[in-house]
A and B are shown apart, each in its own frame.
Chain A
Amino acid sequence: MQKEAAIREPLILGHKTYHDITEDVCRPIEDKAPRMWYILFGIALIIGLYGVGCILYLLGTGVGVWGLNKTIGWAWDITNFVWWVGIGHAGTLISAVLLLFRQKWRMAINRSAEAMTIFAVFMAGLFPLIHMGRLWVGYWVLPIPNQFGSLWVNFNSPLLWDVFAISTYLSVSLIFWYIGLIPDFATIRDRAKKPLSKKMYSILAFGWSGRAKNWNRFELVSLVLAGLATPLVFSVHSIVSFDFATSVIPGWHTTIFPPYFVAGAVFSGFAMVQTLLLIMRKAMGLEAYIHTKHVEYMNIVIMVTGSIVGTAYITELFISWYSGVEYEAYAFVNRATGPYWWAYASMMTCNVVSPQLMWIRKLRRSLLFTFFISIVVNIGMWFERYVIIVTSIHRDYIPAAWSMHYPSHIDIGVYVGTIGLFFVFFLLFARFFPVLALNEVKTILKGSGQSYKESPDYHNHH
């Protein structure tokens, strides 16, 4: 049995037994859904369907329904894509990187964070697909022989790298998540009383039996997948940043982009995890497993990555002047003082100032304040992408071509619609799936459970 220092706060509060953990996680799934769930699901579904309607209108009419023009050929579509991919970075970071670092607090949050990752990447993937205008030829991004002769996709293009990165990331996250879910589905299966749910969870559990050899393989597979997912998570957002960094547009053409995008992705991803978990722990009665200490740990990650992002903003600004390239310098002067100064200012406030407040212990342990900051950070990170993308291209080399970007209601509808769809998926997950890796949490009960840590023989018994 693994011990930890007595001064460390326990990760599981109260006097829980193994059976209590099963009960606490499975009860919300087995009981009737509360009225609030139906209300939220209804709202999310309506918003999501409105988004689907906007997408269908766009596919029927053409990409011209977006507020794009000759100068600004990329705006909300790619902003939303990068925003969602960024949010999708926390889940795998929590489950893979924190697993390699043996951070036990991850066990309470990894399941829902991974679910969030997968749904966020779904939403992200939607944007490049609809941006093609002709969704039905989306398979042309794959290197398949075709009727036009020896025409292949361009493997030198960062856009194709993105296709491979995002699809690998999505599918690897999906199997990582599912392999962890199998034993927990088996627990629900063995508890289920109604024939239909027994049948459904039997199929989902793949006949898992918990043999010693299965567990031996399970632990290795988790470790190796974590080892594979760790460089993957860093590579994905690096490649997303290459979409911009390998171009020659002033404001995009910078070598700082990969690390800066990765830090920003983790920053926004953790903020979204906070937003979702602070509500979920309350609604599902999981306060004993996801408590102030977990929130504090996540806030520290937000503070560190927020500081990296802040440093990158300032470095970028300095280099644009120091490079001596007037176009580069103008791109940044224009960002801060041009017609989009308000977007730049909100980005700076939300992403640079707000995470620094987490240095104050009282604030980073306050759940209400954390919830507020998590929303602020996500707004800030959306503006970051908007600033990078739109302000860099809206004033190009010929002043006659200078332009502004005004989103159309379809732009807004598609974006808001993806938020609705995301919540539809997440609410379904919270209703039918075990939101906590319950069997993994049992392994830390004796090492980090409150009643075990407080017992007199915790530190002298082996």
Chain B
Amino acid sequence: MSDKVIYVMYDDDHTLLDGAKKLVANGVKITEVFSPFPIHGIDPVIGIKNTRLGIMAFLYGLTGLTLATLGMRYMMVVDWKMNIGGKPNFSYLENILAFVPISFEFTVLCAAHGMAITYLLKNKTLPGMPAQNPDPRTTDDKFVMEIRLSENSALTEEAIDNLLSETGYFELDKKEVK
């Protein structure tokens, strides 16, 4: 199915944000926004839900804490009751104070690394991945909105063009895609 993509470029983040609000109010679906830095307030306008990576970080942290506890219990209490100064480790609970630092460090280690890896995978940003921004200037000082005609079947191309011309864009580019 062939489709037409409109790339609308702005030279200011607030112009784009105001424009996006106007477009959405008129029923235009904005597929994507590319920007050199986060535009605060754009997410709810174009229908992006908040990320759940925070929950993931918590779960990774919990995993780390569990692993650290089980590991240290096995090594110090079950497998070999190391005798230090005549005080062998017979019970994990009674010796728990000595295990606090490593439990904490391992929790942070797992939470941070787990979240970072998930973040890179979800973003599809990995070593060797090609750049996907439509214009190299979007990592400098330009802001681009992507609108697909197939997602706006209720509106004609002219109607969208008319709405766009009111938003004060910097450049407009249209591409046929398959």
User: Contact: B112 with A207, CB < 8 Å?
Assistant: no
Which partner residue on chain B sits nearest A215 by CB separation? Answer: B38
Q: Specify which chain A residues have a CB less than 8 angstroms from the CB of B89 in the assembled complex.
A: 156
Who on chain A is nearest to B123 by CB? A214
A19–B119 touching, CB < 8 Å: no
Q: Is the CB of A156 within 8 A of B95?
A: yes
A235 and B35 alpha carbons, distance in the complex (Å): 37
A to B contact number (C-beta, < 8 Å):
199
Chain B residues numbered 47-86 whose CB sits less than 8 Å from any CB in chain A: 48, 50-51, 53-54, 57, 61, 71-72, 75-76, 79-80, 82, 84
- Give the CA-CA distance A415 to B43 in the complex, in Å: 51
CB distance from A227 to the nearest CB of B (A): 9
Q: What are the interface flags for A199-233 relative to B under an 8 Å C-beta threshold, 1 for contact and 0 otherwise? A: 00011111111111111111111001100110110
Q: Do B116 and A211 touch (CB < 8 A)? A: no
- B165: Cβ under 8 A from any A Cβ: no
Report the nearest B residue to A202, measured CB to CB.
B131
* B159 interface residue (CB < 8 Å to A): no
0/1 string, A103-121, CB within 8 A of B gives 1: 0000000000000000000
The dominant DSSP class at the B interface is helix
Assembled-state Cα–Cα distance A272/B83 (Å) = 43
Contact B108 A172 (CB under 8 A): yes
From B21-29, B137-145, B150-158, B168-176, give the one contacting chain A.
Answer: B137-145
Q: Which residues of B contact A22 (CB under 8 A)?
A: 36, 140-141
Q: Are B35 and A215 closer than 8 Å at their CB atoms?
A: yes
A 126-168 to B, binary, CB cutoff 8 A, 1 in contact else 0: 0000000000000000010000001111111010110011011
Contact A155 B72 (CB under 8 A): yes
Q: Is there contact, CB below 8 Å, between B54 and A235?
A: no
A386 to chain B, nearest CB (A): 26
Evaluate contact between A216 and B38: CB separation under 8 angstroms: yes
Query: Contact at A160–B102, with CB atoms within 8 Å?
Result: yes
Known: A160-B102, A228-B111. A209 touches B141 (CB 8 A): no
Listed by A's residue number, 21 A-B pairs whose Cβ atoms lie within 8 Å are A17-B141, A18-B36, A152-B82, A155-B98, A161-B101, A164-B106, A165-B101, A165-B105, A168-B105, A171-B109, A171-B112, A203-B127, A206-B125, A219-B38, A220-B50, A220-B54, A225-B115, A228-B108, A229-B108, A439-B36, A439-B139
A residues sitting closer than 8 Å to B (CB atoms) are 1, 17-19, 22, 143, 150-156, 158, 160-161, 164-165, 167-168, 171-172, 175-176, 179, 182-183, 186-187, 189-191, 202-221, 224-225, 228-229, 231-232, 235, 239, 242, 439-440, 442-443, 446
- Knowing that A242-B101, A440-B37 touch, tell me 6 more A-B residue pairs with CB under 8 angstroms: A160-B102, A165-B105, A189-B139, A190-B131, A208-B125, A211-B33
